[in-house]
Structure 1
Amino acid sequence: MTEALRPLRPLQVSSVSHDSQSSQPKSGPISKSITAPDRPKKRAVCSQCRIRKVRCDGRPNLCQNCDRLGFECSFQQLPGKSPGQYVVKLPERRRRMQACIPCHSKKTRCLGELPSCSSCVRRNRVCSYPRAKNHGSAADGLTGAVGFDDECAEDASPSQEDMDMEMEMGDAADGEGSAPDAETTTALVLDYFDHLYPLPSFAFLHKPTVVLRCRDQTMNESLKLAICAITSLHLKRSSLCHDLWVQQAEQSILQQIGRASIFHLQALLLVIRYRIESGEFPTAFMLAALAARTALALRLNYERPELSQVAQEARRRLFWAVYLLDDFFCVGLREFELCPEETIHLQLPCDEDHFGAGRYVHTGLLRPGPSDNVSTVGLRGVYLRLTSVRRAVMRFNRRVGLGEELSSTIGGSMRRFEEELNSLMANLSPFEQYSVSNLTSCRWQAQFIMLHMSWHQCHCDIYRLGLDGYSEAAPSPILMAIHPRERTAMQFKCFEHAESIIRIVSDFSTHGNGECLLERDAAVCAFESARLVMFSSRIPGAPSNLDLAINKAKLSLNLITRFFPYSASTQPLRKDLERLIASYSVRLALQTQEAFSEPDPPSARPSTKVSQYASSRQRLSVQSLLLQSDFVDDSNEIAGPAPGAAIQATANAMQTNSRTTYVSGSSEVTVAPRNQTWGVTGQVESLNGQAQQSGTCLDAGQEDAGLIFNPWMGFAGTEDMHGMSGRPPDEEF
């Protein structure tokens, strides 16, 4: 029989033994005696050092740390106190710095200057600090023993690293429980329905229900925080902790990512809008996909006739709000669409009066069929149908630019778009048709002017294909195939609708409600109309000469500056329009005779950010939020560096540090990197400087077919970039 295996090491000998022989090691191959080392005696730690997590020297009566900092030490024998108990008073945190809300949300170092920290001043941000907290109140009744048996932490000197850690810990403590109180919540919820609810993307909440739950304090916590955050951001309530609120709402939603909920989706949409307006485009882009998945998981794209009328309409509006998110990121590209139209089986939203009263009204589908007998769809329904038409126009323009549309079919496609747009306008009631009197009497002025501006902009997108010398015109072979009389008609129709947008901007500035808010599409329409009006001054017989065109463009600039002062998504539009107006003003002052054509974009190496095929299919503008998200394809790192690739990688890195390439179809645009304080808008000066050095200009026969898309879906025109100085902008973008 096999002998049992002997253990690898001898068993520990018990220190407590009743047999004197048991203390001797057992016989065997290992004959060394095993002696347990003596445990060092633990040093006593006072209560103050234990709370502060620093090393205590254990000096009787008064430790060195408390003596040095002037704290009341728990080792002190106070009269009237038993030696075993001591009332612990939490000391003030003397080294903690208070980080401002923007720096805390972006996890950047904040020096805590008042009234604005240097980081926010350098980045031109609104700086605000959270409300002060009473940190000592929670520990007033804490009692503990004189000494502790636990190991104390290592002594920490007041280094910069410790100060940063203490600052983050203090800010995290301040963030806990920083939800708005009941009074603040009620005020912000009412402000939401007064200012944001009239906009198309924010009209998915039912006011009577939400207000009632707010006052009863039964509202979903994530939704409450999201409403308060987005409202305070848009209304510039900088004294409120809206960055912390939106962060708490987002974290709560992500923690329950596997539990789809209507309330979480409502809150998520508001969080996405907040991230867009604050310039956090990558986060917004990823969260938008989560919102679309949640909407489909809840089957919001289908009707639910067994529900109440309020619940059905709220579901419809919530899904249509997700549908409108595509305007920020999909830019006419199918692969980025969140909600393809073939998956939507919902009717359009009804009027506000019917929604508030819970009455059912048949409004028709997104794409009306021959049997659709709906007489009046309403502002919101027509706006959604118009959004669908504009996306179809953008896809049509892309096909024309890539040469995928036959010249013989272009005219027929344009006429079909014209008929569809005229049909949309016919669905409006007489009080919803555009006029100054209807504007002043309309209850929803923001929705009213956005609808009519977008309708005219859709015509501009169609007809600008025939503008000779314009960067967004059709390629030269297609232009040559169009009869000159038809091209001239397209030009004047395009300029006429651009003038109509300027007129709406002027009427709204004069007769509109200056306190209402607008969405980004209004800024895009104003921007594009200003470009077209100034460009039209080169055409003989145009409605405006150069001087008048510049003044009209300034009306658009004033609208963008006035209604989007802190919007990160519209800031590139404002800066580009300012440079464009300055360029045309210089031309007016010099009275040059050169043609108003555009410079040839500089040739550059192939882009390494995206694949070559994607470069030709996915042309994005510098104003595109998808491009501003700065996603980079790092597929080359999957297999590791190839032999001998270190030198080439170093050379490529040096080139990347000096320039960044953005794809524009068959051409590319090279700009200075962001870390050299150029930002995305530095493309304007970079292009212009190189174009001036080359001394070349494009005419209609040399027009690059790649530069054909506006900020709503693609590249801005290079006439924006002509005639500017080559120096970088002063402010950081």
Structure 2
Amino acid sequence: MFHEPSLRKSAQDGTLSRAVLFGIFGLSSRFSKNQAIRGQGHVWSAVARKLVRDDLEHASVENIQACILVGNICLADSQPDSESIFFALANRMAELLKLSIPNPANDAITSEINRRVWWSLYMIDRWGSAGLGLARQIHLGADAPQLPMDEVHFRKLSLSNSSEMLANWKPGIWSHMITLAQIFGDIQDLNRMLVEDEAWEEDQIESRVLSLAEELTSFERDLPPTMGFSSENLGFQQKQGVGRAFVALHLGYHHYATLLYYQYLDQRRPSTPTKRIFTERCKYHAIAFCELISTSAKQGDSEALHNVVGHMTVVSSSVLLHTLLLGDDEELPMARQRLESNFQFLVRLRDIWPSVDLMMKRLITFQNECLRTSQQGTHRFDKWMLKFLLQHALSLDEKDVSQSDGESLRQVYVEDERLLQRSRVTESIICARQQTI
């Protein structure tokens, strides 16, 4: 969203929007190891919010950027209504400025910034609207701008080399994320359709799942050689300064695939070879997500520490819970290890983003519901499940009994002694992680 050399120069010259400057301060302070700087974060965030509110009647690219920064601050602080309002304001400003339409008068840097801002709004709309259970505001049409250029090229872009850079244009990680987000939107629509339909046409559902599965497979297959996931490519992208974005791309891929197949964890579904295959695919992608989190942590300076990765980790963990509660005995040790690893990562994210605490509580509520409904079948794909999977910005109430801590797990009535014993494994993991606060 920002051209780093231009941003730094504007900051040094004193020409950078103060709302943008304090928005950057407010967000970046969360990652500082200096407690004094971290302590000032809420002050800078408050200043950014006031500056944005004071200049709302002025539509500009910098004000759009400031709204996005402040919206993310609200997301981090579990203020979903404010988050949505700031993002909606940014969308409206972009419409007023006709940001999606190229302006021949703009230089190469300005044009690319405008493109990246517009696509940032698109990505936010895909995630933010789902997170609050709201309708999307941005729909792709013929006037959608060109995809963003490669991140490394963008960083090196200058007025003196723009012709050369544009001649060698190639898509970057952000472009591939956008392509994935389009598939994500279709997966969201499918899942909403499933919970709204009273009767499921299994053949039609299977056909749609297979179609989306092929889109995901084609996406992965068609990635450039340096974009497919491998330890070598991770090292390469890290040296390019985009290791975290590279990891985020592949986390997104596995998360979207997990959501596509998640419906097949529902034990009410007909037991067919297709269901078994799709169930295993769901578990595979949830495990791959977990392994990627661990791999990036070991690599150093390549972890994807975005707020929404917390929700993605919770969804991955819910699949691991399915294995812990219902899987074969030989699957349990590794499932437990992976779930513990996920919780360790969530605790780390919570230190940066307080809203991750809500996400962790959603997972605890989810487990309790699995135990409570164990006799009827866990992971039932209904409106409650849809809220768990997509509406990450909202709290998750139990369908029947409310709870919020590990102690209440002991009060859940479970007739199946084997299931009860397994539930204590997950309870011990959750309680151990809560004690690290």
Please give the range of the TM-score, normalised by the shorter of the 2 chains.
0.7 to 0.9
- The 5 Å alignment of 1:303-342 reads 303-331=102-130, 335-342=134-141
Alignment partner for residue 450 of structure 1, among 244, 248, 264? 248
SS at match of 1:568: coil
More deviation, 530-539/419-428: 530-539
2:232 maps to 437
- The 5 Å alignment of 1:257-268 reads 257-268=56-67
Alignment partner for residue 570 of structure 1, among 356, 372, 378? 356
1:9 maps to none
Alignment partner for residue 273 of structure 2, among 480, 485, 506? 485
More deviation, 239-248/497-506: 239-248
Amino acid of the structure 2 residue aligned with 1:217: G
Q: 1:333, 1:395 within 8 Å by CA — same for their partners in 2? A: no
Assess, with a 3 A threshold, how the Cα gap between structure 1 residues 264 and 416 changes in structure 2: closer, same or farther: same
CA distance in 1, matches of 2:376, 2:236: 42
Assess, with a 3 A threshold, how the Cα gap between structure 1 residues 669 and 447 changes in structure 2: closer, same or farther: farther
2:202 maps to 407
In the alignment, structure 1 residue 532 sits paired with structure 2 residue 311: no
Alignment partner for residue 620 of structure 1, among 387, 393, 396? 387
CA distance in 1, matches of 2:300, 2:334: 23
TM-score normalised according to structure 1 size: 0.50
TM-score normalised according to structure 2 size: 0.80
The C-alpha deviation readout for 1:76-130, integer Å capped at 9, x for no partner, is xxxxxxxxxxxxxxxxxxxxxxxxxxxxxxxxxxxxxxxxxxxxxxxxxxxxxxx
CA distance in 2, matches of 1:412, 1:597: 25
CA distance in 2, matches of 1:523, 1:271: 19
In the alignment, structure 1 residue 546 sits paired with structure 2 residue 277: no
Shift of 1:205: 0.6
In the alignment, structure 1 residue 502 sits paired with structure 2 residue 268: no
More deviation, 381-390/300-309: 300-309
Assess, with a 3 A threshold, how the Cα gap between structure 1 residues 619 and 536 changes in structure 2: closer, same or farther: closer
CA distance in 1, matches of 2:363, 2:100: 39
Q: Greater helix percent: which structure?
A: 2
Shift of 1:383: 0.8
Shift of 1:349: 0.9
Structure number with larger C-alpha Rg: 1
Shift of 1:413: 0.7
Assess, with a 3 A threshold, how the Cα gap between structure 1 residues 577 and 465 changes in structure 2: closer, same or farther: closer
1:249 maps to 48
In the alignment, structure 1 residue 233 sits paired with structure 2 residue 30: yes
Assess, with a 3 A threshold, how the Cα gap between structure 1 residues 564 and 361 changes in structure 2: closer, same or farther: farther
In the alignment, structure 1 residue 360 sits paired with structure 2 residue 360: no
CA distance in 2, matches of 1:286, 1:247: 16
Amino acid of the structure 1 residue aligned with 2:11: C
Structure with the larger RCO, 1 or 2 (CA within 8 Å, 6+ apart): 2
Amino acid of the structure 1 residue aligned with 2:344: N
SS at match of 1:290: helix
In the alignment, structure 1 residue 466 sits paired with structure 2 residue 264: yes
CA distance in 1, matches of 2:385, 2:210: 27
Amino acid of the structure 2 residue aligned with 1:235: S
The C-alpha deviation readout for 1:513-565, integer Å capped at 9, x for no partner, is 26x551133323332223213422566669x5212210111111222222442
The C-alpha deviation readout for 1:670-716, integer Å capped at 9, x for no partner, is 537xxxxxxxx46x876984x52xx578xxxxxxxxxxxxxxxxxxx
CA distance in 2, matches of 1:724, 1:618: 21
CA distance in 2, matches of 1:423, 1:599: 29
CA distance in 2, matches of 1:545, 1:338: 43
1:387 maps to 181
Q: 1:498, 1:530 within 8 Å by CA — same for their partners in 2? A: yes
Assess, with a 3 A threshold, how the Cα gap between structure 1 residues 599 and 525 changes in structure 2: closer, same or farther: closer
SS at match of 2:226: helix
In the alignment, structure 1 residue 210 sits paired with structure 2 residue 16: no
Identity of aligned residues (%): 19
Query: What are structure 2's unaligned runs of at least 5 residues?
Result: 417-421
- The 5 Å alignment of 1:7-86 reads none
Shift of 1:253: 2.3
Q: 1:222, 1:250 within 8 Å by CA — same for their partners in 2? A: yes
SS at match of 1:434: coil
Amino acid of the structure 1 residue aligned with 2:352: Y
The C-alpha deviation readout for 1:478-520, integer Å capped at 9, x for no partner, is x23xx61111111122222222222212211222326x55113
CA distance in 1, matches of 2:196, 2:369: 30
In the alignment, structure 1 residue 671 sits paired with structure 2 residue 419: no
Query: What are structure 1's unaligned runs of at least 5 residues?
Result: 1-203, 364-375, 470-475, 588-593, 601-614, 629-660, 673-680, 698-718
Task: State the 4+ residue runs in structure 1 displaced beyond 4 angstroms.
Answer: 332-335, 537-542, 575-584, 594-597, 615-619, 684-688, 719-725
Assess, with a 3 A threshold, how the Cα gap between structure 1 residues 416 and 220 changes in structure 2: closer, same or farther: same
Assess, with a 3 A threshold, how the Cα gap between structure 1 residues 266 and 403 changes in structure 2: closer, same or farther: same
Shift of 1:621: 3.6
1:349 maps to 148
The total of aligned residue pairs comes to 413
- The 5 Å alignment of 1:574-589 reads 574-575=360-361
- The 5 Å alignment of 1:188-227 reads 204-227=1-24
1:612 maps to none
The C-alpha deviation readout for 1:157-208, integer Å capped at 9, x for no partner, is xxxxxxxxxxxxxxxxxxxxxxxxxxxxxxxxxxxxxxxxxxxxxxx01111
